[in-house]
Amino acid sequence: MRLTVLLTFCLLINEGAVLAADYSQELFPILQLVENKKYSEAIAGYEKFLQQAPQSLQGPVQFQIASLYALLGDRDRALKMMEQAIQSGFDDCLTVQQYEEWKPFRTDPRFNELKSRMRISEADSKEIFWLKAEIENVHHDTKMVIIENTNRVDGGITAVPQSTIPVRETTSPGVLFNRELVKMQHQAQRSYVLQADKARIRHLTNMAIISGPASYDRVAMSSRLADSAAEQRRLAIQARTFTLPAGVGTTPQPCP
């Protein structure tokens, strides 16, 4: 159970870091409760959050509560909250399909009837798919940056190229919610890489005191390799920029 792999990074960020999304500070403690399998406490946290959440987040957060009830084996409450989420506009068909906690419900007529009420356009569905994939891509990129930096001997700060989040007009709660998750993932990535850079630079300073600094040629080569890796990441990010095919549907349809 999870909102996103974002939690993996956010728990490592300095508590004083300012994150991109306005509601991230309220959501992160709830995510940690979920990670620690404190599902009842997480439900209470989400319910409190709903009292001040914007309309665009109501449905997605209600679905998270429903999913927690599903994990707890409370089928009736799970389905009731799923119904509320759909009434609030929840339209993320992909999440319904992906979450393993709903697998036992797939033969339940009540679940399938609720799912049949969901509507999403082809355009919004494609963007949600891209946003979820981008969260995974950022997660992977961050791990690779840390690995690549392990043997750097220069004191430079790592460039962190990032994708452009779509800004096309939409009222889809699923799209708007997942855009916020990508924004938070971006901020988490920048913060985590910066922390790793600071730790590397401290280590280099200590090693220079003990055994002397690395040669100019080694430092220059290390810096060039880091810049080259950053450029390769930028090109890869550019290649996966979100675009909608011509003629894609914009009329809400039942979940595929």
pLDDT digits (tens, 9 = 90+) for 21-33: 457 678 878 988 9
What confidence score (pLDDT) does residue 213 get?
87
More confident residue, 68 or 56: 68
CA atoms within 13 A on the CB side of 216: 0
Average confidence (pLDDT) over 167-180:
92
90: tokens are 């929840």
For all residues of the chain together, what is the average pLDDT? 89
Give the tens place of pLDDT for each residue, 70-128: 999 999 999 999 999 999 999 999 999 999 999 999 999 999 999 999 999 999 999 99
3-class secondary structure per residue, the chain: CCCCCHHHHHCCCCCCCCCCCCCHHHHHHHHHHHHCCCHHHHHHHHHHHHCCCCHHHHHHHHHHHHHHHHHCCCHHHHHHHHHHHHHCCCCCHHHHHHCHHHHHHCCCHHHHHHHHHCEECHHHHHHHHHHHHHHHHHHHHHHHHHHHHCCCCCCCCCCCCCCCCCCCCCCCHHHHHHHHHHHHHHHHHHHHHHHHHHHHHHHHHHHHHHHCCCCHHHHHHHHHHHHHHHHHHHHHHHHCCCCCCCCCCCCCEECC
- pTM for this entry: 0.85
More confident residue, 213 or 87: 87
Q: At what angle do helices 173-211 and 55-71 cross, to 10 degrees?
A: 80
Average confidence (pLDDT) over 48-74:
93
| pLDDT(217) > 90 | yes
Chain centroid to CA 145 = 18
What confidence score (pLDDT) does residue 184 get?
82
* 198-234 burial: b if 16+ Cβ within 10 Å, else e: eebeeebeeeeeeeeebeeeebeebeeebeebbeebe
Q: Which domains, ranges and CATH numbers included, belong to the chain?
A: 6-118 (1.25.40), 122-239 (no CATH)
Average confidence (pLDDT) over 176-200:
90
Give the tens place of pLDDT for each residue, 4-22: 444 444 444 443 333 334 5
Percentage of residues in the chain with pLDDT exceeding 70?
91
Banded pLDDT at 56 (limits 50, 70, 90): confident
